[in-house]
Amino acid sequence: MLKNLSLRKRIFISMILLIVLTSVLNAVLTIYQYKEQAIDYHLSKLGRKEEAVKSAINYELTRKTTFSVETKNLPFIFQEEIYQIADIHKLDVSIYDLEGKLLKSSRGSFIRDSLPKDISKKILNEMASDYDHRVIDEKIHGDESLISSYTYITDNKFKPIGILNLQYYPDNTFQDKELAEFLSRLGVVYFVMLLIAIITAYFISSYITGPLQKVSDKISQTRLSKNNQKIIIENTSEEIGNLIHSYNLMVDALEESADKLAKSEREHAWREMAKQVAHEIKNPLTPMRLSLQNFEQKFDPKDPKIQEKVRDLSKIMIQQIDLMSSIASAFSDFAKMPTQQKEQLDLVDVVKHAVNIFTESYIYFESNVEHLHVELDKNQLTRVITNLLNNALYAVQDIENPAVKVRISKIENNILITISDNGKGIDEEVKDKVFEPKFTTKSSGMGLGLPMVKNIIETYNGTITFTSESNKGTTFIITLPI
């Protein structure tokens, strides 16, 4: 996303993101630090309570009890005292034997049933590794956290006779309140810093990118056909100064070559215009020549249909002469192509007549509809068909069994005209250039036919595509909306 933004916006957003990211990281670090301090505080508090409870237990074992200090007597020794100890120190106190079996607990019987009857083997193994080892176990019960400590209860000879378990529920209300107050104050500070950062980032980004924007504006206004102003900016950095110097040199070079380029472009435009007109005039001349040759070869004064054939020939000749006349008229107006003269016509009939201009026996015509009335320019449609047929004939001229097929079909609301051949095909590396002006594979062609065809088809909101395989043939597909 940042790639599409201007340098000024990138600098502005980067500075804002830096402040926001710093604020978030500081807030996260603060919360983490508070939680760590809270845990250390509660562990320290539990340790002090644990020492006090152990002192009370040792006092009962060494001074007050009349029972022998053994594991089996622990429930009797602390029959009542365990409740007093738990009440004084505000803890849940439980006593287990050395195998982890529950002997006595300060919790009520209905709560005691929810206590695990045995200490887990993991905790027992940790305690067995070192008699003086203190095991801390932290768990989450619902929304509350529970810290449990396990230590040995020893007799007067420091021999373990039981396991003391203290369950402590940390109260973080005070710490949470302090944290909320601190974060609120920190939020106010960072909000003020963010406002300052926005203002600072705006001015810094403007200062850095201001000269670049002026250069950009000047470059965007630079035109070959007009006088361009040089850029003059005081007190710029070395990089921007080099950019401005390069631009000013370019302006000088443009002024020196503007006249030469203008003259060259005019000459080139007239050359291209002449090529286009020559190509357009050549298209109707070819079918006229073929029609006359065909008529001459088949002329028979005794043919009962001779009058009809003469009328057909005259009709074809007049059509092509009219086409050349329209091209000549357009050339007088700076070689514009003949404007569209839309008329209601039978597309099947027009295409069929365009195909009949050619005398080659291997040209086949077929249509899945007998008549197809559309509104098109008859001359332009004829030019499209004859141009594509000329290309197809050129492609099959060296083929042993040449075949060129012209097919018309109606599919839903579209007309499809396909012209296919079994010629040499179009090479893969030049397929993208087929519709480019001045590109041709013919030795005598000017490369203006297919671009002209494409332009005519697209004028009617149609499309022209092709498929081709080397040494297998080419098919051009014209799609026109009805």
Average pLDDT rounded to a whole number, residues 93-101:
86
Instruction: Report the range out of 56-65, 139-148, 220-229, 443-452 with the highest average pLDDT.
Output: 56-65
Does this model's pTM top 0.85? no
Which CATH code is given to the segment(s) 341-482? 3.30.565.10
At 349 the pLDDT is: 92
At 408 the pLDDT is: 93
Average pLDDT rounded to a whole number, residues 87-102:
86
DSSP code per residue over 309-354: HHHHHHHHHHHHHHHHHHHHHHHHTTSPPPPP--EEEEHHHHHHHH
As a whole-number percent, the residues of the chain with pLDDT over 70 amount to 78
Q: Which two tokens stand for residue 59?
A: 């006092």
Instruction: Report how far apart, in Å, the C-alpha atoms of 165 and of each of 50, 52, 123 are.
Output: 9, 13, 11
Query: For residue 221, what pLDDT band results from cuts at 50, 70 and 90?
Result: low
For the chain, the domains span 2-176, 224-339, 341-482
At 333 the pLDDT is: 41
Average pLDDT rounded to a whole number, residues 455-474:
88
- pLDDT tens digits for 224-276? 555 666 666 666 666 667 777 777 777 777 777 766 665 676 666 567 667 76
CB-based contacts of 293, cutoff 8 Å, min separation 6:
359
At 304 the pLDDT is: 80
Higher pLDDT, 338 or 73: 73
- pLDDT tens digits for 394-450? 888 888 889 999 999 998 889 999 999 998 888 888 888 888 766 666 655 555 678
Which CATH code is given to the segment(s) 2-176? 3.30.450.20
Higher pLDDT, 348 or 330: 348
Question: Chain-wide mean pLDDT for the chain?
Answer: 78
